Structure 1
Amino acid sequence: MEAAEPGGERGAVGPEPSEPSQDPGAGGPEPPEAPDPVSERVCRGAARALAVPAERCAGAARALRGKAVFFLRPPGAGPGPAELLCGDLPADPLAHFAALLEEVIVPILTNRKNHQGWPRVVSQDIIHHVHSLKKTVFMVVGQVKGKTLLPLPAGSEGIENIDPENERFLELVDKSLVHATESAIIDWSHQIQRALKKESSEPLLQGSNPNPKVELEFWKNRCEELECIYDQLRSRKVRNMMEVLERVKSIYVPAFKSMLRDVEAALAEAQDIHLHLTPLQRPLEDIEAVEFSKVKPFLAPLLHMVCWIWATCKHYNVAVRIIVLLQEICNLLIQQAVVYLSPEDLLKGEMEESLGKVQTVLDILNGFKGVFEERRENLHMYYEPGQEVRKWDFHSRMVFARLDSFLKRLEMVKGLLTTALDLTKLEKMEFSGIRGRALGQQVLDMHEEFQEAYRVFAERSYDCLDLASTEFEQDALGFQQKVEDIDHRLSTVFTQAFDDTLDLEHVFKLLTMFQSLLERPVIAAVAADKWPVLISMFSTALDHTRLIYCSHTQAGLKLGSPPLHKNMPSVAGALAWARELRARIQRPFDQLRHIPHLCLDSAQGRRVVQKYEEMIQLLDRYQDKLYLDWSQTVSEKSQYNLTQPLIRRDPETKLITVNFDPQENQSLLLADPASDSWKAYVDYVDEIVLDGFFTAIECSLKYLLENTGC
């Protein structure tokens, strides 16, 4: 059989033996070649023949960097090497097959010299199927490379070399080219329409969760694809083909021009959007590079740039497109949050650390929603004065649907960790009173039940942050039911322990021991019934405090001065006593005010607060009076005492003694003058003063001797 001449039956595939050729209009850098179905197809056949798993063989073919050898035993072949087929398999079987089709199969099967003796119908059918196969392979090669390649019709070979200005232009063109070109326009329109209908929202609609880089990559690839299509449609060969159709007045010329206008408009749109989206690349990379706990400062600038895109890009200020971009930003934040939280260790590590991370993520994501609302309200700032402001009039639910679901799951995890952290305190609880030991044992039993219930999460291998998984929700629901039972039993223990308390001090110790457990709904409901009792106990304490005050002041009136602590002067001792009495009611009142869910706005609460304030005012007046009385006489007494010598000589014994007023010392120390301790104290003070006096005289004499030369 003979092959066609080099200039004979040629299609859209070029002369390169290794890959199909492209029309000059299909230019542009080619993306990396992807694995194709041909290699996997060959490998599946080889796997069946050699009893090798097809997946392993196909995987090996995808990993090839050079040629490989295959061995194939056809179905029904007998044993032995004679029946075994072998050959080499290139690294890119699709390109190899396209080159084989272009250089061998098409030239042979389309050469009419090889059709001698064939019926005309068979010959035409063979040529038709060969060109159909060639066109299909050409389009598949383009799809693998991420391009839309437009196959040229049969008979278009060499038309680019014909000058349209030539008077014999139509005579030089193959007559069958008109019908072939019209058929090609129909095929091109289908290909181009598929390319034009592509939207960046397709991954979201298909159920995947792309990030904003997918959006940027989509518009970049769309620019390249539409440029490739436009270059093909504006190539010299296609222009000459259209010239032929115009001269024969084909009805497909308007359709081609309309298709070209659609491509031009789509290309201008893609270039405009790609130009405006490109600045987003840097802030998105910054968000991915930084730890999620530090990502909050990057969110406002990111949304600021999104607002600028909305205000300045005339092709992107459409609600559906900005919603897609915002959804993808939410997906990016969720993706980074999951990496930061490490779901596989979130419920297995330290509870406090995990709870802190979850709270950090909640704050950041809720903060992002807040920034979004703030930017939505201030979109007018991105427009020039007098320019029409296009608002984000879509519902925020359209943007935050998945983010809200993620936040809901985080709240569930937070509640679980908070509960677990609360119940871990049960192990350290100790109770006083008659039933203290029994109550403590009950609480320990509850703690063991809690640990057993919580251990389920440590044994699971699922991702607790996977929104598609319901297994975690089921386990969390079962855990919550067990916790509710523990809460009811804890509330009973709290009631019994509260009833056993003797005074306010023990009550507040019990409340401190329960701490955050009092905020749990079941326990809080039971504790609320005890708050009136607690307020009543505090009211009784106030009454007792007032009795102490009255008895103390009355004793002071009878004795001339109030009773004091040992070793305290009169005024300072009285003030110290007043401060101690104030602390006796002030500390319980401060603790009372900080008890969760305890309301002092009730009638009982207002009476207690009024009684407390009256007692505080009474103590204030008492302290003010003490200070005022002391300040009126302290100056006169101080001046008199300062005029007295520190030591004096007894006129009878001629002995030197300290000039301290015994009455002052007695009132200072409240000591008995006849007691041995008082006498020892006086002798001790006298000795210190005399030693200091004689030491001063000795120093003065030494100074006199050294400086007078005596």
Structure 2
Amino acid sequence: METEIQSSQSVRPRTAARADMEPPAEDSRLAFIRDYVLRTLRLQPARWHSCVSSEDNQRVLQDFLDRAEQRTLVVSVTVAGQLQPAAALPSSPASSSRGRAVYFVKRSRSALRRDCMEESLLYGDLSHNALQHFSALVEEVVAPLLFNSKNHTEWPQVVSQDVRRHVHSLRTHALVVSGQVHGRTLLPLPAGCQNVEQADLETDKRGEMVNKSIIHSLESAVIEWSHQIHAVLKKDSSDALLEGQTPTPHSELLFWRDRYADLECIHSQLHSSKVNKMALLLEAVESSYAPAFTSLQQGVLTALEEAEDVRFYLRPLQPLFEDMESAEFPDVRGQIGPLMHTVCLVWANSRYYNTPPRLIVLLQETSNLLIQQARVYLVPEEVLRGELSESLMKVQTTLETLQLFRSTYDERRANLSRYQRNGGPVRPWDFSPLLVFSGLDCFINRVRSIKDILLTAVDLLKLDKLQIGGVRGRALSQQVQVLHRGFVETFKLFTEKPYHCLDLNNKEYEEDLREFKLKVDDTDRQVGAIFCQAFEETSGLEHAFKVLDMFGGLLERPLVATDALDRFALLVSMFDKELDCCTRLYNKHIQTAEERGWAPVNRNMPAVAGRLRWAQELQLRIKTPFSKFRHLSYPCLESAEGARVIHKYEELMQLLNRYSSGLHEVWTESVRESYQYDLRLPLINRDPETRLLSVNFSLQV
């Protein structure tokens, strides 16, 4: 029995604990909101469960249910598709997914009760298009209520007219703004336009206007339409450029497409039946606004013809610009020619697009497109920090592409006569290229400055491998390493700047570049001084050329070349002395041969072959440095002294050539009789007695 009691007691706590773990019943007020939200927004219940699982969302919902001062609840759908409750309307409905939302507003400042939720709330859904929602509200609710004369029978006439006027103004503004959102100019009809036909009939019968207020209303409408239409006609595709923006050709094509659609909309409104009756009525009463209205219609028609012509002829350019935008920048080079060819065809055939202002805008926008793509290709954040060789390749490709566009323009401009239509002349491009390429030229100069920086880095980073020989070579090499470390630090500070190096509006870049160049110039001057000291330590012509090879491309830097200029003259003088030395050796060799009948040759060399070898070595001694002169960046042999040295070099080479030719001719004559016989003999002989092998070599041959 005790066992049974204990077991029953042990069961009770588990049952109670399980009951405590069960979730509480859902608040019926919250269920009402849940059902309406899911039904209106057409969502699954899982979305609601995900929403209320957040403590922040629970707090917002509970505050709306229980707190009297919290009178508004808006539940919207986020971009991720989740429900988001809030105590006010979202600041940007368009930011949510399709702008879907529902609202709940308390009728009174009190907490909500479970038994009268529907009676205590105003609720509904919010349109994703707030302006369209507002226009529908004004047109279907506000205007019918306030225009209904039964609703203000007890109002004074002045108040009634003022209310009607304000309501009509509200409808007008809502209509105009709604059209502007969609890129259309909607012309609001004047108040009382429904009476125009009746007034027209009365004018025909009685010859006078019955109600002058109708005429006043029509004339006011003409004035308002005139302002609207003139604002449209005044727009130009160059406005964005004049405002300092950088539109691309896509903006030009879009402008003329939208302009055509807008003008067509205006034209259809101006020629509608109601507006035609208004125009006839104004003419019948001889209103001073009738000619203005006719002029307005004619202006719209002319602008519509222009927009239609331009839209038609610009259409072939659209796929070309789209291909250019989607292509990799190095591939753009192949598309520039077809693009400019099509532009020339548009210029030659269009009635309205063959004027300098139109073409200047299109070419400026094309330049902006190329600049935009060049920036993406170069990656401004990496062009100065990445691998120097890769960055230089990209910069060079960019410059070649941009300059190709400029040169293609010049070529097409010079050959516009090839595009003449029906034998008629083609209007020349007689405007200044600066009007087109001022922005492009500035960008090209900026890219060139980046190229100069990269080339400077390539040159001066070579200082790390520069080792100078000679007596003072070690000290000079240490100075070079100090310069290298200083430049590395300078280059690092310049390239780690946080700004956009391809932003033409960034003046900080220009200041930093100026400071960078000053430091580089100082480094170049020191490199030039070190070169001069190293050159002075050279012991001969060969050593001098080794110093030149060691400094290599550094000698092509302007400030270094200025210091090295005098050393090139010394190099010519050293070569002149070398020629004199070789000439003396030649004369001594010839004199010895004449006096003794033989001349000294290299050990183990035959007499004739040794002399020929000696002549070749002497030629090589002067030919090697002479060939190196041609690879120097400075044309040091083009001076008067250089011309004299060249003449001396050519004379000595001719002497050596004649000497070698003479030796060969004498030897040929001496062996002519025996060489045919000797050549028939075997190369190896065997002694018949000893059976030993020996080389069958004729001493004469």
| SS, match of residue 437 in structure 1 | helix
Alpha-carbon distance, 1:241 to partner: 2.6
- In 2, Cα distance between equivalents of 1:167 and 1:174: 14
- In 1, Cα distance between equivalents of 2:608 and 2:104: 112
Candidates 329, 332, 354, aligned match of 2:369 = 332
Contact map agreement 2:467 2:477 (CA 8 A) in 1? yes
Candidates 390, 395, 415, aligned match of 2:427 = 390
Q: Residue 599 of structure 1 aligns with which residue?
A: 636
Alpha-carbon distance, 1:414 to partner: 1.2
- In 1, Cα distance between equivalents of 2:691 and 2:517: 86
Alpha-carbon distance, 1:177 to partner: 3.8
Of 504-513 and 52-61, the range deviating more from structure 2: 52-61
Candidates 353, 368, 386, aligned match of 1:316 = 353
Contact map agreement 1:450 1:483 (CA 8 A) in 2? yes
Q: Normalising by structure 2, report the TM-score.
A: 0.80
Q: Residue 91 of structure 2 aligns with which residue?
A: 58
| SS, match of residue 408 in structure 2 | helix
The 1:615/1:66 distance shift into structure 2, 3 A limit, reads same
Contact map agreement 1:70 1:88 (CA 8 A) in 2? yes
Could you say which structure has the greater relative contact order, defined with CA pairs below 8 angstroms and 6 or more residues apart?
A: 1
Contact map agreement 1:645 1:659 (CA 8 A) in 2? no
Q: Residue 46 of structure 2 aligns with which residue?
A: none
Q: Residue 379 of structure 2 aligns with which residue?
A: 342
| SS, match of residue 386 in structure 2 | coil
- In 1, Cα distance between equivalents of 2:281 and 2:262: 27
| SS, match of residue 357 in structure 2 | helix
Candidates 261, 268, 271, aligned match of 2:305 = 268
- In 1, Cα distance between equivalents of 2:683 and 2:459: 66
Candidates 284, 288, 297, aligned match of 2:334 = 297
1:355 correspondence with 2:388: no
What is the one-letter code of the residue matched to 1:144? V
Q: Residue 36 of structure 2 aligns with which residue?
A: none
Structure 1 gaps of 5+ residues are 1-44, 669-710
- Following superposition of structure 1 onto structure 2, how do residues 97-176 of structure 1 map, counting pairs within 5 Å? 97-157=134-194, 176=213
Q: Residue 474 of structure 2 aligns with which residue?
A: 437
Contact map agreement 1:348 1:457 (CA 8 A) in 2? no
The 1:191/1:60 distance shift into structure 2, 3 A limit, reads closer
| SS, match of residue 297 in structure 1 | helix
Contact map agreement 2:127 2:133 (CA 8 A) in 1? yes
Give CA deviations for 1:105-140 in whole Å, capped at 9, x if unaligned.
Answer: 001111111111111111111101110110011000
What is the one-letter code of the residue matched to 1:330? S
Give CA deviations for 1:54-90 in whole Å, capped at 9, x if unaligned.
Answer: 999423544341432457899xx99978999987532
What is the one-letter code of the residue matched to 2:662? K
Contact map agreement 1:646 1:658 (CA 8 A) in 2? no
Contact map agreement 2:464 2:481 (CA 8 A) in 1? yes
- In 2, Cα distance between equivalents of 1:217 and 1:173: 48
Contact map agreement 2:203 2:210 (CA 8 A) in 1? no
- In 1, Cα distance between equivalents of 2:211 and 2:311: 42
| SS, match of residue 600 in structure 1 | helix
Contact map agreement 1:160 1:236 (CA 8 A) in 2? no
Q: How many residues align?
A: 615
What is the one-letter code of the residue matched to 1:250? S
1:511 correspondence with 2:544: no
1:525 correspondence with 2:558: no
Q: Residue 578 of structure 1 aligns with which residue?
A: 615
Of 407-416 and 596-605, the range deviating more from structure 2: 596-605
Alpha-carbon distance, 1:237 to partner: 2.3
Alpha-carbon distance, 1:93 to partner: 1.1
Candidates 193, 197, 209, aligned match of 2:234 = 197
The 1:243/1:173 distance shift into structure 2, 3 A limit, reads farther
| SS, match of residue 343 in structure 1 | coil
Q: Residue 293 of structure 2 aligns with which residue?
A: 256
Candidates 407, 417, 422, aligned match of 2:459 = 422
Contact map agreement 1:148 1:229 (CA 8 A) in 2? yes
The 1:631/1:56 distance shift into structure 2, 3 A limit, reads farther
Q: Residue 586 of structure 2 aligns with which residue?
A: 549
1:491 correspondence with 2:532: no
Q: Residue 645 of structure 2 aligns with which residue?
A: 608
| SS, match of residue 530 in structure 1 | helix
Alpha-carbon distance, 1:646 to partner: 6.2
Contact map agreement 2:179 2:186 (CA 8 A) in 1? yes
What is the one-letter code of the residue matched to 2:516? F
- In 2, Cα distance between equivalents of 1:412 and 1:253: 63
Candidates 468, 475, 495, aligned match of 2:505 = 468
Q: Residue 179 of structure 1 aligns with which residue?
A: 216
Q: Residue 267 of structure 2 aligns with which residue?
A: 230
| SS, match of residue 314 in structure 1 | coil
The 1:645/1:415 distance shift into structure 2, 3 A limit, reads closer
- In 1, Cα distance between equivalents of 2:221 and 2:499: 53
Alpha-carbon distance, 1:614 to partner: 1.2
Contact map agreement 1:211 1:329 (CA 8 A) in 2? yes
Contact map agreement 2:187 2:269 (CA 8 A) in 1? yes
Give CA deviations for 1:249-308 in whole Å, capped at 9, x if unaligned.
Answer: 333222222111111111111111111111111221222222222322221221121112
Alpha-carbon distance, 1:427 to partner: 0.5
Give CA deviations for 1:530-563 in whole Å, capped at 9, x if unaligned.
Answer: 1121111111111122223233344444565544
The 1:142/1:591 distance shift into structure 2, 3 A limit, reads same
1:458 correspondence with 2:491: no
Alpha-carbon distance, 1:621 to partner: 1.6
Of 617-626 and 123-132, the range deviating more from structure 2: 617-626
- In 1, Cα distance between equivalents of 2:466 and 2:157: 101
What is the one-letter code of the residue matched to 2:192? G
What is the one-letter code of the residue matched to 2:375? V
Contact map agreement 2:72 2:88 (CA 8 A) in 1? no
Contact map agreement 1:504 1:537 (CA 8 A) in 2? yes
Q: CA RMSD in A?
A: 3.5
Alpha-carbon distance, 1:102 to partner: 0.2
Contact map agreement 1:338 1:465 (CA 8 A) in 2? yes
Q: Normalising by structure 1, report the TM-score.
A: 0.79
- In 2, Cα distance between equivalents of 1:59 and 1:506: 78
- Following superposition of structure 1 onto structure 2, how do residues 366-385 of structure 1 map, counting pairs within 5 Å? 366-384=403-421
Contact map agreement 1:200 1:215 (CA 8 A) in 2? yes
Contact map agreement 1:163 1:169 (CA 8 A) in 2? no
Alpha-carbon distance, 1:346 to partner: 0.4
Structure 2 gaps of 5+ residues are 1-70, 74-84, 114-119
- Following superposition of structure 1 onto structure 2, how do residues 626-641 of structure 1 map, counting pairs within 5 Å? 626-641=663-678
